[in-house]
Chain A
């Protein structure tokens, strides 16, 4: 029953970091493959093999490198490094806020890459990417705040071992987090800045000028990020590890469902609705918790 929590205690910090670095891309790629399969089934198609994302990435690594300028690939390398770093911090049980800040740093490098190439499509994608960042950032911070209010610590390791169910204290925060999770997973209706699979928006948005191995790096970073985000969902249900994992996977299924059922929003609606939803669900939850403490 509590094997996962025992794992947390038995494995040292470094072991957990290493496990994340090695296993997360496998898990992330697999989830992406299942995602494509399930999406296809939603549309009445057969869909690609489950291992398709790995085929794509391996193919991309074999493509020729073409560049617009010399520095564009460097930003994406930094993006990958800092995404892995923040994920590793998260699974090592470090400070949740620090994790969020370093994830934001990774996101900034990603955006700067989009700006750096000086292409109109990429630029537009980068602008939208910042708007998305701004749309989800308050809720992500508020999630950490809410968890701190309940457990009295920002440490992921402490939050993960908190015995009573966090979700009961933070239903609003969880709802808000679900909302912005759609942005983070780059799913419709919020996949404005760069789109996945067969969706198309402003050509390929952010990634228009990135091809071959660099595109593969972006894809891998995305896998790492997804696993980390599912880890955050897990935290809400950490009192029962199996339930936590189950809910995390269900959440992903739910996001696919949303993805299949919505057309893309305009950035105005994305931004406005995210902040509003954060204010209604997240902020009210935080204030209620604050009042309860007093």
Chain B
């Protein structure tokens, strides 16, 4: 079993080096990549079934050499970041890296010899969930990259073609993600944490123009702030309790480990782009689409909530936990509202990502069995559906030449299959029978019992969610005759494969959710709380009736309407009787005017600037309270 874990960490690393050094002209390159991706999918699935009825397992590993190796690498990473920052004349990252490095080195030299780590790695159900997400979704996105990157460089001749380097970073990132989710040793966790920070920094800056450099440094700064606090947390933890292991942390007295736990939660907030750190995620949308899909929707931000969920049991019944809940709630509500006012598709996706992560963080703060149950389900459903949507937007961007929602009129006439896939993703994000709503449903119940304010936030937030998804959905499915320019054949097979995998996964996860709940999430909750939430079986039955109803009615109905030709009379849309054709009407001076329809964005109410700063200030206050109360 341990070998499988080490394999999962080292195999992507090996692939990434291969990607960096194999010449691009090599014919078998993509075949190797495909096989590697298949392996990356298969191993987590094997892990799932191999440990189906087992509890968590911990692994001992001779860590002397590895620790030294990691320390050296950490210094090298720090040096590299300092080099890049100085070259770009930005000094905040330099200060942060130096503080972090000094902390870690000082810690290593003064306490290094006395660190006793019993189990360096571990595997429980939560790790398996994360491994499945990283393995399947991560490798699917890499597959998508094979088709996407050539087109990217076609459309952006000004960007230097560094495809090998890009693939290297993507796989390196996967390796680091596996490292984060299997590490029990907090030093290791920290090391992998910093690697993801570095990778995301380099990937965001891939374009290497001013906008992307700005965004990259913003992401770096914010993640480094999180990293510095993480390092402080480790030091405080070790000094106060002589522990360096994640599982031992949970067993210790709350008073001793509360402060380090809050530090880790803070690092998690930065990584998962919660307020006040949200701006790095929206800025990161300048990167190529696979980067947005991999780092900023399905995996890296999930590392942040992963850590928060890991340490949240420590904070049970404290003011800190309440503050954490509120920060999550504020992020959820404010970003959902801001998303209404956005017309840039990627930004809408980014804000809705922050919003959903906010809900997960809030669940972690509430920390009851039902809340954690829905947090885990949210992680799964969100990862699948959101990466699917990102990839769709990536394709649309090149087929239509725009990522603005206003330009996606009549998308169903132009890219019919892609629109169908996108509808699945959107339905997965907010419509009733799909997973997201199941978890929101349980979340609401969990909130009411502990904190009615959160129930109110959820009520308003889900209304806002309905708004921006529905109007986008409506935009892409409006039909107009005369719009026949189908451009779908230009989408590469790599991209179709990925979309297919993810679309099937979105539906499959929803259907398999009782299995996931029963075999994966419930054991984890038993291990954590010794209870599992009682979800009314009748409700689940009803949800299934709706789901199967939809799965049967929708395709059959669409088939019926699309292929069985009825001789219903076709008329144009009502244009006050002034129709010239279906899409034009007679204007003044016998001119022919095309009809144009645009969406509401309610800028006045939900303008980004105003709401964003409100969110930042509120959450900053909450964070100060969180630390202040804990420190006292």
Verify whether A and B have any Cβ pair under 8 Å: yes
A78 within 8 A of B: yes
**Assembled-state Cα–Cα distance A287/B445 (Å):** 15
Which of the residues A85, A121, A134, A135 comes within 8 Å of B574, measured between beta carbons? A121
**Chain A residues within an 8 Å CB radius of B466:** 104, 108, 130, 133-134, 137
Whether A115 and B575, one on each chain, are in contact in the complex, defined by CB atoms closer than 8 angstroms, is: no
Interface secondary structure of B, over-half rule = helix
Interface secondary structure of A, over-half rule = helix
Whether A105 and B539, one on each chain, are in contact in the complex, defined by CB atoms closer than 8 angstroms, is: no
Query: A131-B600, A134-B464 in contact; A141/B459 too (CB < 8 A)?
Result: yes
Find the B residue at minimum CB distance from A142. B459
Which of A50-58, A95-103, A255-263 sits within the interface?
A: A95-103
**Assembled-state Cα–Cα distance A135/B600 (Å):** 14
Whether A70 and B561, one on each chain, are in contact in the complex, defined by CB atoms closer than 8 angstroms, is: yes
**When each residue 112-152 of chain A gets 1 if its CB lies under 8 Å from chain B and 0 otherwise, what string results?**
10111111111110110011011101110110010011000
Query: A101-B441, A126-B474 in contact; A120/B575 too (CB < 8 A)?
Result: yes
**Assembled-state Cα–Cα distance A271/B337 (Å):** 14
How close is B438's CB to chain A, nearest CB, in angstroms?
Answer: 9
**Chain B residues within an 8 Å CB radius of A118:** 410, 478-480, 573, 597
Residues of A173-200 contacting chain B, CB below 8 A: none
Size band of the A side of the interface? 35 or more
Find the A residue at minimum CB distance from B453. A287
**When each residue 98-112 of chain B gets 1 if its CB lies under 8 Å from chain A and 0 otherwise, what string results?**
000000000000000
Which of the residues B432, B463, B557, B595 comes within 8 Å of A137, measured between beta carbons? B463
**Assembled-state Cα–Cα distance A185/B481 (Å):** 34
B475 within 8 A of A: yes
**Assembled-state Cα–Cα distance A211/B74 (Å):** 69
Find the B residue at minimum CB distance from A293. B452
Residues of B530-554 contacting chain A, CB below 8 A: 536, 538-539, 542-543, 546, 549, 553-554
Whether A145 and B573, one on each chain, are in contact in the complex, defined by CB atoms closer than 8 angstroms, is: no
B562 within 8 A of A: yes
A203 within 8 A of B: yes
B448 within 8 A of A: yes
How close is B432's CB to chain A, nearest CB, in angstroms?
Answer: 4
Query: A134-B463, A134-B467 in contact; A98/B452 too (CB < 8 A)?
Result: no
Whether A286 and B441, one on each chain, are in contact in the complex, defined by CB atoms closer than 8 angstroms, is: no
How close is A202's CB to chain B, nearest CB, in angstroms?
Answer: 11
Residues of A200-218 contacting chain B, CB below 8 A: 203, 208-209
Whether B478 and A101, one on each chain, are in contact in the complex, defined by CB atoms closer than 8 angstroms, is: no
A26 within 8 A of B: no
**Chain B residues within an 8 Å CB radius of A104:** 432, 466
Q: Which of A67, A70, A82, A271 has the most CB of B within 10 A?
A: A70
How close is A141's CB to chain B, nearest CB, in angstroms?
Answer: 4
Find the B residue at minimum CB distance from A121. B574
**Assembled-state Cα–Cα distance A68/B573 (Å):** 6
Residues of B455-487 contacting chain A, CB below 8 A: 455-456, 458-460, 462-464, 466-467, 470-471, 473-475, 477-481
**Assembled-state Cα–Cα distance A287/B451 (Å):** 9
**Chain A residues within an 8 Å CB radius of B549:** 81, 85
Whether A74 and B561, one on each chain, are in contact in the complex, defined by CB atoms closer than 8 angstroms, is: yes
Which of the residues A95, A105, A117, A209 comes within 8 Å of B542, measured between beta carbons? A95
Whether B574 and A98, one on each chain, are in contact in the complex, defined by CB atoms closer than 8 angstroms, is: no
Whether B479 and A108, one on each chain, are in contact in the complex, defined by CB atoms closer than 8 angstroms, is: no
Which of the residues B448, B452, B573, B604 comes within 8 Å of A209, measured between beta carbons? B573
**Assembled-state Cα–Cα distance A122/B599 (Å):** 12
How close is A118's CB to chain B, nearest CB, in angstroms?
Answer: 4
Closest 4 CB pairs of A and B: A115-B474, A290-B452, A119-B573, A137-B463
Known: A78-B553, A131-B467, A134-B467. 11 other contacts (CB 8 A): A66-B568, A81-B553, A94-B539, A97-B445, A98-B543, A115-B473, A118-B597, A134-B463, A137-B462, A137-B463, A287-B456
Could you write out 7 A-B pairs with CB less than 8 Å apart? A112-B477, A130-B470, A135-B463, A142-B456, A149-B452, A272-B605, A290-B451
